[in-house]
């Protein structure tokens, strides 16, 4: 099977007051048609930058794609013209963001905004586009869709706004939907509704989803495959079951072990000591070495590559050498 979206060796840098900082380094990911890829990691690990790069939305300058490729169905995106990207965005690849309120225009009704997205990509009349918008709102579970389509974003609850964003994102039947922390601003019961909706949309529309999250629980419920990122690199990638049940990279294992689970009582949580190093201070070795219990001399001097270890891709010298 060829990948729908294929990111290879992607390197993105930003000009900052510390000089040129590498935000993404040798990032390799792919998502197949109709599946969900979860990208997990802590803040600053590069998961959102990866998504923005795929959308062609990295602000340049200060950002720069310094190397690698992003291919959507074989078409190279890193060198595509802005006009071409505008055609692709929304139609082939769409995105929903963390805070639906700031992603919607406050002075237009939600129906108008969805209709606008439809008319940008499809040759239909304004009335038809609005009718389509109402049907989409109904599809994403908004009650009395025809009336709600005439509401402004501030009249809707957070969960409803995120449903509007999803309706807009799928309005042109994209092949890839990127969801960047889509439920972080929402309550758990509403989060559950949005997750169930995304799974339904995937079943019905056959859209591939890239779910960016910091929550391993969300990955478990949503993802077919998982990529774990740390300090701008992918450190582990495999099926969700493999990563959750037998994580290889010490960081992936740490992320899973430190979650306070509902089922167990008062035992001490396993911590990952220390903090993520600032990107401008990354040395020659593995970025995780300072926090890792398995490090040796090689970890401090040589960056581990993302290698295939049976069922996992992992970037770790300890995994490579069989040290546990």
Partner 1 sequence: MTALLRAEDLTVRFRLAKQSLFGPAVHLEAVRQVSFTLEKGRALGIVGESGSGKTTTAMAAIRLTEAAGGKVLFEGEDLLELDDEHMRLRRRDIQLIFQDPYSSLNPRARVVDIVREPMDLMEIGTPEEREARVRDLFGLVGLRPDQLNLFPHQFSGGQRQRISIARALSTNPKLLVCDEPVSALDVAIQAQILNLLARLKDELGLSYLFISHDLGVVRHVCDDVAVMYLGKIVETGPCEALFDAPKHPYTQALLAAAPSLARRKSKGYARPMKLSGDPPSPLNPPKGCAFAERCPKAQAICRETPPDPQKLGSLTVSCHFAGS
Single out the segment in contact with partner 1 by CB under 8 A; choices: 105-113, 146-154, 238-246, 309-317. 238-246
Mark 142-181 with x for binding to partner 1 (rule: CB under 8 A) and - for no binding. -x-------------x-xx---------------------
Q: What angle do CA 60, 63, 69 make, to 5 degrees?
A: 95
CB of residue 320 vs partner 1: minimum separation in angstroms? 23
Single out the segment in contact with partner 1 by CB under 8 A; choices: 13-21, 115-123, 271-279, 306-314. 271-279
Among 273, 284, 310, 324, binds partner 1 (CB under 8 A): 273
Determine if 221 is a binding residue for partner 1 (CB under 8 A).
yes
CA separation, residue 151 to residues 127, 154, 238 (Å) = 17, 8, 43
CB of 65 within 8 A of CB of 12? yes
CB of 200 within 8 A of CB of 165? no
Nearer to partner 1, 43 or 81 (CB): 43
CB of residue 262 vs partner 1: minimum separation in angstroms? 5
**Number of residues forming the site for partner 1 (CB under 8 A):** 52
Among 193, 282, 303, 309, binds partner 1 (CB under 8 A): 193
Determine if 294 is a binding residue for partner 1 (CB under 8 A).
no
Nearer to partner 1, 67 or 217 (CB): 217
Burial class for 228, CB neighbours closer than 10 Å (0-12, 13-18, 19+): buried
Burial class for 210, CB neighbours closer than 10 Å (0-12, 13-18, 19+): buried
CB of 214 within 8 A of CB of 40? yes
CA 228 – CA 27 distance, rounded (Å): 11
Determine if 32 is a binding residue for partner 1 (CB under 8 A).
no
Is the backbone peptide bond immediately before 116 cis, with ω within 30 degrees of 0? no
Q: Cβ atoms within 10 A of the Cβ of 204, count?
A: 10
DSSP state of 286: -
Nearer to partner 1, 126 or 261 (CB): 261
CA 282 – CA 298 distance, rounded (Å): 15
Single out the segment in contact with partner 1 by CB under 8 A; choices: 9-17, 132-140, 169-177, 239-247. 239-247
Determine if 290 is a binding residue for partner 1 (CB under 8 A).
no
Which residues lie near partner 1 (CB under 8 A)? 36, 42-43, 141, 143, 157, 159-160, 187-193, 195-196, 199, 214-218, 220-224, 239-241, 244, 254-256, 258-266, 268-273, 275-276
């Amino acid at each position: 099977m060829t990948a729908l979206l294929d990111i290879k060796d992607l390197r993105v840098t930003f000009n900052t007051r510390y000089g040129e900082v590498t935000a993404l380094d040798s990032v390799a990911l792919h998502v197949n048609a109709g599946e969900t890829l979860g990208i997990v990691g802590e803040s600053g690990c590069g998961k959102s930058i990866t998504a923005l790069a795929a959308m062609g939305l990295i602000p340049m300058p200060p950002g720069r794609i310094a190397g690698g490729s992003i291919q959507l169905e074989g078409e190279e995106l890193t060198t595509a013209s802005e006009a071409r990207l505008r055609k692709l965005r929304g139609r082939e690849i769409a995105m929903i963001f963390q805070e639906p309120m700031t992603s919607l225009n406050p002075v237009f009704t939600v129906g108008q905004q969805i209709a606008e997205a439809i008319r940008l990509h499809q040759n239909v009349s304004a009335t038809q586009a609005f009718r389509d918008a109402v049907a989409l709102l109904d599809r994403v579970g908004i009650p009395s869709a025809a009336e709600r389509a005439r509401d402004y974003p501030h009249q809707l609850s957070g969960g409803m706004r995120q449903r509007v964003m999803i309706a807009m994102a799928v309005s042109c039947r994209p092949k890839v939907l990127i969801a960047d922390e889509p439920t972080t601003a929402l309550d758990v019961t509403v989060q559950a509704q949005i997750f169930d909706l995304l799974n339904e949309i995937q079943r019905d529309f056959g859209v591939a989803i890239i779910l960016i999250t910091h929550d391993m629980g969300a990955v478990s419920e949503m993802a077919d495959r998982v990529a774990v990122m740390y300090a701008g690199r992918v450190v582990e990638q495999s099926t969700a079951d493999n990563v959750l049940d037998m994580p290889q990279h010490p960081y992936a294992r740490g992320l899973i072990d430190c979650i306070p689970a509902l089922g167990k009582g008062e035992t001490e949580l396993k911590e990952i000591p220390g903090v993520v190093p600032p990107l401008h201070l990354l040395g020659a070795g593995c970025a995780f070495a300072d926090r890792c219990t398995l490090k040796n001399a090689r970890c401090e001097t040589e960056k581990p590559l993302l290698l295939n270890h049976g069922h996992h891709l992992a970037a770790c010298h300890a995994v490579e050498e069989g040290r546990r």
